[in-house]
A and B are shown apart, each in its own frame.
Chain A
Amino acid sequence: MILIWLILIPFIGGFFSWIAELIGTRSPRWIALGSMMLLFALTVWLWLTHNYSLSGIINGQPQWVAEYQIEWIPRFGISFHLGLDGLSLLMVMLTGFIGMLAVGCSWSEVQKYIGFFHLNLLWILGGVIGVFLALDMFLFFFCWEMMLVPMYFLISLWGHNAPGGMGRIQAATKFFLYTQASGLLLLLAIIGLVLVHQNNTGQLTFDYMALRGTAMSSHVEWVLMLGFFIAFAVKFPIVPFHSWLPDAHSQAPTAGSVDLAGILLKTAAYGMLRFAIPLFPNASQALAPFAMWLGVVGIIYGALLAFSQDDIKRMIAYTSISHMGFVLIGIYSFNTIALQGAVVQMMAHGISAAALFILSGQLYERLKTRDLRQMGGLYSRMRNLPPIAMFFAAASLGMPGLGNFVGEFLILLGTYQVNPNVTIFATSGLVLAAVYTLKMVQRALHGQPSDQNSAELMDLNGRERLMMLALMIITLAMGFFPQAILNTSASVIQSLQFQSLQQSLPQQSLPKLP
């Protein structure tokens, strides 16, 4: 039952914040913040009270820490089936945390149509949580598509018309089209999979548990797997499909960017881990080398483009592409260490990118520009913001002791055992990350203020400092005690690896499981 509340809290909270605008402008914010805190508290409670080391595959079937299933559309064998294991818990927890930040960072930024803004913000999160919990392919797709509409509104109504970029409505439309068109491909692939399963067994079902291990010819498996892979690749984003991301980020309001970088991109990585690989193990295995090289391309390409950006949000968007390249390599290395690293990297990048976006939002509120050329000398103009920005820049470049380092290190370590060449090229991403981050720090924080009007700027207020403090603590905690995350996701990762190994062996030589 608690799983359904995890989905309902954002939806109900969002609805009430919309209504609450009638009372006053502050009440929607408090309601949204309250529901996000409740969500986060629930996930923490779930984390502390349940044992995640036991979930995993028993008798060939994944076990869930919590599960919920009711009939939904029996005509097509669709049920409302939710399940929670270590991986989805981590992702939902991240969603709750990012959700609080997203509400917090729009506290002063968003001043128009506050109720409707929070409705959209919370409904995105509701859809995302649905994606993380769904165990029915129809439900998964339902939530996958559903979160696009509020995101579209968020960008198109509260976004910026950044100079030099395309307008916010065009950016929102581009985002929607990319993800929706690729989503249609996903729908086709899902239905194709279901029909293959129906042809095999005579049973029409969309249930994930039943569809696992569907036998199919390698051609069909390839086609269906590509349907999943491309849909996820667009959202990931993997390099040839990435061009919506910088535009969406640069036009989105801060909360939209935080959501986008913090969790929306993670739904794609989660989809690969949860669906694309377990459902199509052989084809995924065959795709792996290619996917890993795509990851390398993403790392280097993202880093090079980040280097040449003047708009600070565009720059962070390109660094996202670069960092998500590591996640892709980790996922397709099929190595326990690297997969664990990918999970940590997803969390750490979610936090650090969110922090950087919030910081650039705060800068924008004060300077009214996001152009790095017009910044400079911020150290002399503010007390708290520059060192915090320095901290997260360090996190982003992979400084040991901070969360991202753990993720990247584990990924590179694990991948080295599988494919050293990929590792060697991927490592260059670390160097490039240092270059572009330090360049950003140099241009924004050091040196002389570029404009004549270099008066002192309003420093961070209590709310902003509190948010930054929370983010820094979590980043440090992930850097020093990553074991907590690793333990939570370990059994899921092991079962994933176990399965792909099992599938890669010839079927005859497999001993029957007890």
Chain B
Amino acid sequence: MTLTMQHLQALLPIIITGLTSVAVMLSIAIRRHHAINTTVLVAGLNVALLSIYFAAKVTPLSVTPLLIIDNYALFFCGLILISALACSTLAYAYCEHFTRNREELYLLMSIATLGCLVLACTRHLAALFIGLEMLSIALYGLIAYTYDRARSLEAGIKYLILSATASCVMFFGMALLYAEFGSLTFISIGQHLSSPTSLLPIIGGSMLMIGLAFKLSFAPFHLWTPDVYEGAPAPIATFLATAAKVAVFAVLVRFLLMDAITLLQSSKMMLVLGIMAALSILLGNLLALKQNNIKRMLGYSSIAHFGYLLVLLITANQQLGIEGFSLYLTVYVITSLAAFGVLTLMSTANHDRDADLLEDYRGLFWHRPILTSILTVALLSLAGIPLTAGFIAKFYVVNAGMNAGIWGWALLSVVMLGSAISLFYYLNTMVNLFLSKSNSYPFDASLDWGQHTGGLLVMAATALILLIGIYPEPLIHFLQLNLTGLTNANMHP
């Protein structure tokens, strides 16, 4: 097939991000300069973000059998690019006084972002694998970037081994599927898998699911999450929690909710996903209870949140599912940016650890009221308390579950139990911020944190959390307008 200008136009976000990687690499080769190299990356990502507007004019469009550019893909491209921009902004402040080479971090980040974008657009297992590996391999480097810290190095190696194993399992699964069906597109795999004729493709499909479940840290494949979140430098943990998760989830939902909806509706698949969701919610919340490290706590809480999201996916019908899922993920990304953003602002790369212990934050409110308020709002949003966006997201989950009959109610009771448990640790973290002043702060944000772009970013995220929490209609309307209704067109390309 020949590529026309239209195809290129549709691919603009991916192409521009790819070019950005090259540009960052060249600019590092020419001269190491922290500010300039970062600027190249940020400028490139911004242009890519803008180009979504132009790409949206030619959607929906299949570019080669590998990629599809539709509103769904572009929405998640936007979300990924925004998270990547936020992470690189946070990384800039974080690395400012780092004594090692700082610049390669931006190169790796741009490659990881490129992988995420590919994932968001893919509807073919080959592209899925390419995207996933581009993301994962860049992440190995990023997680171990502050390798003077033992934790960071350990986390990097742990992620390398576990993630590579998961990738292998997934790759093997893909091979089995291909051997059976002779096709790698989502649609044909979905069709074949929903009425399997032999054991082989079921094994293959399960291995594929295991791989994706690992990347999304669903229980029981979640064990790496807290360690990696704890060890990764704070801006990278942010990237891991936002862009990386969004991309993999986007591809999972495209597979399950759009291309293989009959597979999702089969009772066995529902059962497997339901058990995975329930396990994630319970284990995530229970294990988060005893953490005194905020990054670990957020890691476990992300496991629980993706459990809730899975419940939404299983119980909702297609339209509500896509809308609710996009809203939930958007809210989660914004909230994580705020929460991790505060952590990043408090930490620097040249310290021997990040500011992630509860005691580092004890009484911070009386010292840094605005920064603490931001973290408080983010925690309340994670807990799903009204006035914050998290409540609207939780509302979608409950709404979908109530509609889904006895099976939905069973899952909802797990959601309820989980969110009751989760209050313990969110409240515990929150109240810690307000306890009596401590005398010294081992970690502290710079005095003028509010004037830096990182500071502005977390404030903007907080404003968005409150805005969506109080008046979600514009976002819902936007999602409905752009995302729903496209699925049917998708089914018959």
Interface residues of A (CB under 8 A from B): 71-76, 113, 116, 141-143, 145-146, 148-149, 152-153, 156-157, 169, 172-173, 176-177, 180-181, 184-185, 187-188, 191-192, 195
Interface residues of B (CB under 8 A from A): 365-366, 380, 385-387, 391, 395, 398-399, 402-403, 412, 416, 419-420, 423-424, 427-428, 431, 434-435, 471-473, 476-477, 480
| Contact B398–A191 (Cβ < 8 Å) | yes
| Contact A73–B416 (Cβ < 8 Å) | no
Residue in contact with B386 in the complex, picked from A72, A146, A169, CB distance below 8 Å: A146
From B380, which residue of chain A is reached at the shortest CB distance? Answer: A149
Residues of B within 8 A of A192 (CB): 402
Residue in contact with A157 in the complex, picked from B434, B476, B477, CB distance below 8 Å: B434
| Chain B binding surface, main DSSP class | helix
Q: In the assembled complex, how far is the CB of residue A228 from the closest CB belonging to chain B, in whole angstroms?
A: 15
| Contact A172–B431 (Cβ < 8 Å) | yes
| Contact A145–B473 (Cβ < 8 Å) | no
| Contact A75–B427 (Cβ < 8 Å) | no
Given contacts A73-B476, A191-B398, contact A146 B385 (CB under 8 A): yes
CA distance A441 to B258 in the complex (A): 72
CA distance A149 to B471 in the complex (A): 20
Q: In the assembled complex, how far is the CB of residue B414 from the closest CB belonging to chain A, in whole angstroms?
A: 12
Residues of A within 8 A of B419 (CB): 184
| Contact B399–A76 (Cβ < 8 Å) | yes
Given contacts A142-B386, A177-B424, A181-B420, contact A169 B398 (CB under 8 A): no
Q: In the assembled complex, how far is the CB of residue A321 from the closest CB belonging to chain B, in whole angstroms?
A: 23
| Contact A72–B473 (Cβ < 8 Å) | yes
From A123, which residue of chain B is reached at the shortest CB distance? Answer: B387
| Contact B386–A153 (Cβ < 8 Å) | no
Residues of A within 8 A of B403 (CB): 195
Residues of B within 8 A of A74 (CB): 473
Residues of B within 8 A of A169 (CB): 431
Q: In the assembled complex, how far is the CB of residue A203 from the closest CB belonging to chain B, in whole angstroms?
A: 15
Residues of A within 8 A of B480 (CB): 75
From A172, which residue of chain B is reached at the shortest CB distance? Answer: B431
Q: In the assembled complex, how far is the CB of residue B402 from the closest CB belonging to chain A, in whole angstroms?
A: 5
Beyond known contacts A76-B399, A184-B416, A195-B402: 15 more, CB 8 A cutoff? A71-B473, A74-B473, A75-B476, A113-B366, A141-B386, A142-B386, A143-B386, A145-B386, A148-B385, A173-B424, A173-B428, A177-B420, A184-B419, A187-B395, A188-B412
Residues of B within 8 A of A172 (CB): 427, 431
Residues of A within 8 A of B380 (CB): 149
CA distance A191 to B415 in the complex (A): 15
CA distance A159 to B114 in the complex (A): 52
From B469, which residue of chain A is reached at the shortest CB distance? Answer: A142
24 contacts between A and B (CB under 8 A): A71-B473, A74-B473, A75-B477, A76-B395, A76-B399, A113-B366, A142-B387, A142-B391, A143-B386, A146-B385, A148-B385, A156-B431, A157-B431, A157-B435, A172-B427, A172-B431, A173-B428, A180-B423, A181-B416, A184-B416, A187-B395, A187-B398, A188-B402, A192-B402
| Contact B434–A176 (Cβ < 8 Å) | no
Q: In the assembled complex, how far is the CB of residue A79 from the closest CB belonging to chain B, in whole angstroms?
A: 11
| Contact A152–B387 (Cβ < 8 Å) | no
Q: In the assembled complex, how far is the CB of residue B367 from the closest CB belonging to chain A, in whole angstroms?
A: 12
CA distance A116 to B398 in the complex (A): 33
| Contact A173–B427 (Cβ < 8 Å) | yes
From B400, which residue of chain A is reached at the shortest CB distance? Answer: A191
Q: In the assembled complex, how far is the CB of residue B385 from the closest CB belonging to chain A, in whole angstroms?
A: 6
Residues of A within 8 A of B385 (CB): 145-146, 148-149
Residues of A within 8 A of B431 (CB): 152-153, 156-157, 169, 172-173
From A169, which residue of chain B is reached at the shortest CB distance? Answer: B431
Q: In the assembled complex, how far is the CB of residue A146 from the closest CB belonging to chain B, in whole angstroms?
A: 5
Q: In the assembled complex, how far is the CB of residue B316 from the closest CB belonging to chain A, in whole angstroms?
A: 13
CA distance A149 to B423 in the complex (A): 11
Residues of B within 8 A of A76 (CB): 395, 399
